[in-house]
Each structure stands twice: as structure tokens, then as C-alpha cells.
Amino acid sequence: MFKGGWTGKILRVDLTREKHAVQDLDGEVARSFMGGRGLAVKILWDELKPGTDPLSPENKLILATGPLTGFALPSSGKLVVASKSPLTGGYGDGNIGTRASYQMKKAGYDAIVVEGRAKEPVVLVVEDSEIKLEKADDLWGKDTYTVQDELEEKHGKEAGILMVGPGAEKLIRFGVVISEKGRAGGRPGIGTVMASKNLKAVVIKGTKEIPAYNREELRELAAEGYKEIKASANYDFWVRQGTMATIEWSQENSVLPSYNFREGWFERADEISGTTMEKVYKVAQKGCPFCNMQCGNICEIKEGPYKGWRVEIDYENIAMLGSNLGIGSMDWAMTLNLYADLQGIDTITLGSVLAFTAELVEKRMLPEDKLGLKLRWGDGEAMLQLAELIAERKGFGEKLGEGVKALSKALGGEWFAMHIKGLEISAYDCHAAPGMALAFATSPIGAHHKDAWFIAWELKIGRDVISKEKVDRLLEMQRIRGGLFEAAVACRLPWIELGFSLEWYPKYLKAATGLDFTLKELYEMADRIYDLIRCFWAREHGGWSREMDYPPERWFKEPLTRGPLAGSKLSKEAYDKLLSWYYEARGWDSRGLPRKSTLRERGLGYVAEQLEAQGMKLEE
Amino acid sequence: MPRLRFIGRLREILGSELELEASSPITLSQILEKLPQEARRLILAEDGRLRVIVLVNEKPAQGLSQVIKPSDVVRFVPIVSGG
Ligand code: SF4
């Protein structure tokens, strides 16, 4: 049935029984959910028993590519990692630019689904149809740079390698999956799920040719696409600074999170900017496979305990581990970034946990003797010490490893606990950005920028505009970023940063798969995926209420005091209006649950029936 | 004298702020004509579409024919995403 694009096979691995099987990918599922996130949520919905403990052997770890993955096309070297999240209790995923993406396709699989728990630490080795579990006692406990080196030495430089770090092994709730020294994905604890299965790493090598419907046309289209990207007016600047240019951007627009999102403007932003990085720290460039606009900034740390180490940095990490902690030192922000990467823990959540703790201390809600150290804003050394306690789950670090939501429930301060649905907010302050706040709050994995980046569009529409048009634009953006790019599994940055036309993607899909997809159909697919993810959350949480789609109280309660927008804060009334319009536009009811008619329209009638069979009442 | 503010690549070319020699109102497109070619290419696509967000006193510009007053601050904001 498949004419190309997909391999048509899913590798299933059961670590408890030490068995594997190859399953056919259902053609209808591929057409309706495509791959990546779409395929992942479909599998989780169909196969996971409601209420499954995310860290139990029954949870499933899904590594999924899409029909464009593995072809030499602009930025198609990514894969999605997904599971039920131990941090949020809902659906969680993330994408990683890694050789494992094309190696999986070359080995003959669209996805690998892992369940069960190995008796002792193992590495799953996939070489075409040969599947092995190798002992990993010698790798367990080792940092992700060392493991990358050792596995590369054993399996070769071209091998696709995904792994967890020691932090995830200790079941910190925000462990990520790491590849190739610092490429991280799966913020909602997908690395923790992998570690809970005693799976230290997955190594993938393939020798097959990925099937393509029209290889010649694909090659020609790709060449044209690459040319268009390279001709972009902003190309050189992008390659020089990548996402780090956003520090200056966010500062100018008062959205640079500072002091636990108390402010959107930081007095020492220049010291952690893309320009400073370029002048002082950048030593090399890195990118994902098949990308001709590589944005990985490899920098060398100049001072501190990790002096001389190299780390790949980007905007989110430096903002969350710099300005959001009051740190105006690139060396310390990079040191914290490196430490998180070595330990395999999420940099954004780490930044939020450290900031929340600093504020608890400042507000005298957490005595320093309980914490075991003196913690002040801007003190990189103390922040690193605390990060070490978290990664090692020592002393008070044990509690911090549960994330901001759990912490605030235990210690108070929920109004300044900067998370939504349990996932800590990425690096955009929203005191003066109601549309961006809505985007974070309705992002399908919790407050992550992948689906939610709306801020530039909001500036274009007008930040204080409260209108249905704004909500419609947000939906459009979610359909593109969270739907098209996450299901086809391609990098969104050529489109956003360099204006690469979306019209390329239906052409690529046609040449790869032989199937005609219009952009409109791709957006319908995106809506189907969003609906199913929302239903998955509702099923796992036993219902829904609109409070789950609210940003933290801080943005409503406490205005900015610094920068050109001092005095700004969100209005609850305006936010509620936007949220209601959002639900309406999605065909969801006033609680935020998809209506039965909406689900039927998207071919998800069975989902409605299953939710109702569990006692959830859905509106027609 | 409208003030123009730039960030990113535009700041590298033009500096972070530029005060225009214009004592009477001037349109946005007249302002763009005064900028060097390299900067114009970053702001305007060949088909005349704006490639960046233009904010006049923090409000979105209403098009290239918008009249800019001597007291206005015009910001040119590239569309970036940070990841
Ligand atoms: S633009 Fe950056 S993130 Fe996207 S594929 Fe290229 S290197 Fe990877």
C-alpha cells in the first residue's frame, strides 16, 4: 500500500520479555496521523490502559519519524520522542535533530515502540532486522558526553544514538532524551520514561534505501529548496547567531524572562546576547542532518569549574539559565546548560525550578538551612550547587526533582510557580502578550514553545488587541508548528526564520509518498491530532476544566516593574474572552473538551465513545 | 525627526538607533528609500511585502503609505522564533 515515504513497518520491543516484533503500519493511520507526534498519540490512545503509571513498565516509549525523515530535504533529520509524561500526567513529546532519525528509516522502520522494563540496564541495538539487547552496566551512571563517545567508538560515527543521562536514571521527572552531546528532546520527562525501563541507550544503524515514490523529483525539489533557503536575506546572520539572536529580540520587546518571569527585561541582557556569544565564545557550528542552515552554536566556556568545555547553546537555555536566574554571565549560563546536558535533564525546567526556589528563599517561604546552601539571584555558583543536588537527588534536591508544580503544591507559592499543566514555561514572558499566554496555555504538551511561539505574530497583530482574528491566527500557527511539522517531522525553522515557503511541503510529501496532501488537508490532520491529544489528557486526568488552560497567576496579578512596558500585566477578563473564542474555533465546549460532533467530523467518533464509556459526559 | 530603532542584522548595518532628517511628515516607504540597499532587502521582499514587523510607537504599522510624524518612534523587528 505504501508507495514511498513511509517504510510501512513499526518495530516493537518488549524489554520485560526480551522480545521484539515487526508490525505493519496501517495505511489509514499513516494517512490520517502521518507520523511523529500524530502516530505517537494514536498508539498511546489505542494501546495504553487509562491511568497507566508513566514510570511503570506498561508505559510506552515511542520514537517516531515521519514520511519526510531521512531524505536529503531541508531540515528533515529529526525524530519525535513521546510517551505519557511523568511530569504532567498527560501526553508528552519532543523532537530531536539526530542521526538516529535517518538511521531508523534506513533500518526499515517508521517508528520504534518500547515497552516493559529490562531486568538490568541495557542498550537496544537495531541494525536493520537484527535486534539485540546489550548489557549496559558499564554505561549506567555515566554522563551523556562520555556515553556518546563510547557508543560511537563501538558502533561507528555514523550510528544513530539516543540516550539518557544520570539525572534521568535517578528518575528526576524532567529527564530528556539526549543525542550527540547536547541535542535534547522530550521535555515532559520522556528521558525519565526511557530510564525507568532501564534503557540507557538506543543505537540504530540501517543499510537500506528509504523508499521514495519519485526519487528524481524529490532530488530536484530538494535542490531548489536548499537554494531558496540559502538565498534568504537573513541567511548569514542566522548561521552566525542562530536562535541566540532572540536574546536581544526578547529584551527589546520586553519578553525576556527575568527573575522567575517577574520581569520581561533584564539589565544585563547584553552580556548573554547572541552578539556576545559570537564575539567571545563561539568556536564551531553544528547542525541536524540534511540541514543547510545549521544553527547549533558550539561555544567554549572561558571561566569556572567547566572552563575549556564545549557546549551547544540556544536561546531558550541561555534565557532560562541566565536572565531568568538573574545571571548576567555567559560563562555561568553556559555552565548550567552544559551540566544539564551531561546529566540529561531539561534545561528549561531546570531554569524554572532554580528560579522558583530562589524566589521561595527570597520570600522566606523556604529557609536556607533546609535548602543547605545560600541561594541568591545571579549567583551562578550557588545555582550550580543546587543543580547538582537535584541531579543527584541529594538532600532538598530530591524534592526539586519533581518539578515546579509539585514543589509549589508542597511549599506554597502556586501563584508564581511558572508552569502550565505541570510543564514549566519556555523563555517568553507574557505580562504584555495575551496571545502568547494563550498559546502556551493551549500547547498540547504544556507550556512549551514548540507549539506556542506566537509572540512575533502577536506583535504584528498588536499586543493589546483582543480579537477573534488573533485566536484564528494562533490556531493557524498551531496547525503549522504543532501539526504539519511535528507529524511530517521536519524542522520548522526554515519557515519561520528564513521565510521558506510552506508550499514546498505538499510537494515534498507528494514526491516522497505519492499521496496528494493539500495544506488544508494537512491542517485538518493537525486538528485531528490536537483533538486526540486533548482527549488523551482528559482521559488520564479523569476530565477537564478551563483552569487547566490558564497561565500562572503571576502574569495577572503583578505588573512588570522594569523596561519600556513597566506597568503591564494580563487582564483576566480579556484572557477569558480569548480562551472562549479558542475553544469555539476548535469545536470544543466551554470546559475545553472536544464536542462529540467535532470528534466525529475528524474521524474520532470512537474516541468520544470510549470517553463516554468511562463516564465522561461530552457535549454534542 | 522620527527615530528608527533596529535589532539583529539591521542593527549591525544601521546601528541601534537612527534619527531621520525630516522636519515634515514622511511616509514609511519614503523612509525605506533613505536606507541602504542591504537594509532595504532585509525589510522588504521583492514583491513589496514587509519581511519584518514595523511598529510605530509600539503599534503595528498600517502599511507602507502610513505617514510618520517627526515625533514618532519606528521599530523594525525581525520575525524570529528562538527555537
Ligand atoms: S535549523 Fe537548526 S534545528 Fe533546524 S534542522 Fe537546521 S540545525 Fe537543526
Nearest CA-CA partner of A552 in A445, A354, A416: A416
DSSP state for residue B23 in the 8-state scheme: S
**Taking CB atoms and an 8 Å limit, are A234 and B9 in contact across chains?**
yes
Q: Which pLDDT value is given to residue A329?
A: 98
Tell me if A326 sits within 8 A of A269, measured CB to CB.
no
Q: Which residues pair with A199 in a beta bridge?
A: A122
Whether A93 and A121 map to the same domain: the answer is: yes
Q: Whose CA is nearest to atom 5 of ligand 1?
A: A75
pLDDT at B83 over 80: no
Q: Please report where in the chains the cell 545571579 appears, as a residue.
A: A378
**Distance, CA of A535 to CA of A608 (rounded, Å):** 8
**Which of A360, A379, A414 corresponds to the end of one domain?**
A414
DSSP codes of every residue in A146-210: HHHHHHHHHH-TT-EEEE--HHHHTT-TTB-EEETTTEEE-TTTHHHHHHHTTEEEEEEE--SPP
Whether A326 and A438 map to the same domain: the answer is: no
Tell me if A240 sits within 8 A of A550, measured CB to CB.
no
Whether A384 and A472 map to the same domain: the answer is: no
Tell me if A206 sits within 8 A of A130, measured CB to CB.
no
Q: Which pLDDT value is given to residue A163?
A: 98
The answer as to whether A527 is a domain residue is yes
Q: What is the count of residue pairs from A and B with beta carbons less than 8 Å apart?
A: 82
Q: Where are the domains of chain B?
A: 3-78
Whether A127 and A64 map to the same domain: the answer is: yes
Nearest CA-CA partner of A339 in A214, A511, A182, A110: A182
Q: Which pLDDT value is given to residue A498?
A: 85
Nearest CA-CA partner of A548 in A428, A441, A453: A441
Nine cell digits for residue A377: 539571584
Query: Does the domain spanning B3-78 belong to CATH 3.40.1260.20?
Result: no
Distance from CA of B1 to the nearest CA of A (A): 21
Whether A153 and A262 map to the same domain: the answer is: no
Nearest CA-CA partner of A340 in A308, A374, A363, A316: A316
B74 exposure class (CB count in 10 Å sphere: 0-12, 13-18, 19+): buried
- Which residue from B7, B42, B60 is facing A462, i.e. has the nearest CB? B60
**Taking CB atoms and an 8 Å limit, are A252 and B5 in contact across chains?**
yes
The answer, yes or no, to whether any atom of ligand 1 lies below 6 A from the CB of A493, is: yes
Read off the pLDDT of residues A69-114 as tens digits, 9 standing for 90 and up: 999 998 899 999 999 999 999 999 999 999 999 999 999 999 999 9
Nearest CA-CA partner of A118 in A176, A82, A164: A164
Whether A72 and A117 map to the same domain: the answer is: yes
Interface residues of B toward A, Cβ cutoff 8 Å, are 5, 7-9, 11-12, 41-42, 45, 51, 53, 55, 58-60, 75, 77-83
Whether A494 and A606 map to the same domain: the answer is: yes
The answer as to whether A512 is a domain residue is no
**Taking CB atoms and an 8 Å limit, are B7 and A252 in contact across chains?**
yes
The answer as to whether A216 is a domain residue is no
Shortest-distance atom of ligand 1 to CA A243: 2
The answer as to whether A222 is a domain residue is no
Nearest CA in chain B to A96: B83
> CATH code at A58?
3.60.9.10
Whether A188 and A135 map to the same domain: the answer is: yes
Shortest-distance atom of ligand 1 to CA A77: 5
Distance from CA of A425 to the nearest CA of B (A): 14
**Considering only CB atoms, which chain B residues are within 8 Å of A316?**
82-83
Q: Which pLDDT value is given to residue B24?
A: 82
Give me the number of domains chain A comprises.
Answer: 3
> CATH code at A561?
1.10.599.10
Whether A472 and A385 map to the same domain: the answer is: no
Q: Which pLDDT value is given to residue A233?
A: 87
DSSP state for residue A329 in the 8-state scheme: -
Query: Which ranges constitute the DSSP H helices of A482-553?
Result: 485-488, 493-498, 504-513, 519-541
**Which of A364, A380, A414 corresponds to the end of one domain?**
A414
Read off the pLDDT of residues A384-435 as tens digits, 9 standing for 90 and up: 999 999 999 999 999 999 999 999 999 999 999 999 999 999 999 999 999 9
* Residue A483, CB-side half-sphere exposure with 13 Å CA sphere: 24
Read off the pLDDT of residues B66-77 as tens digits, 9 standing for 90 and up: 999 999 999 999
The residue type found at A531 is D
Stated as kind and residue range, the H or E segment containing B6 is: strand B3-6
The answer as to whether A595 is a domain residue is yes
**Taking CB atoms and an 8 Å limit, are A249 and B75 in contact across chains?**
no
The answer, yes or no, to whether any atom of ligand 1 lies below 6 A from the CB of A97, is: yes
**Taking CB atoms and an 8 Å limit, are B80 and A497 in contact across chains?**
yes
DSSP state for residue A13 in the 8-state scheme: E
Taking the CA atoms of residue B70, residue B71, residue B72 and residue B74 in that order, the dihedral angle to the nearest 10 degrees is 70
The answer as to whether A215 is a domain residue is no
Q: Which long-range contacts (CB under 8 A, 24 or more apart) does B42-45 make?
A: B42/A233, B42/A234, B42/B9, B42/B10, B42/B13, B42/B78, B43/B10, B43/B76, B45/A499
Confidence of residue B1 (pLDDT cuts 50, 70, 90): confident
The answer as to whether A83 is a domain residue is yes
Nearest CA-CA partner of A185 in A252, A97, A296, A91: A97
**Distance, CA of A565 to CA of A465 (rounded, Å):** 16
Q: Which pLDDT value is given to residue A370?
A: 93
Q: Which residues contact A224 (CB under 8 A, 6 or more apart)?
A: none
The answer as to whether A505 is a domain residue is no
What residue numbers bound the domain in which A547 lies?
Answer: 434-499+518-613
Nine cell digits for residue A182: 547536547
Q: Which pLDDT value is given to residue A497?
A: 84
**Which of A414, A447, A470 corresponds to the end of one domain?**
A414
Name the stretches of chain A with pLDDT < 50. none
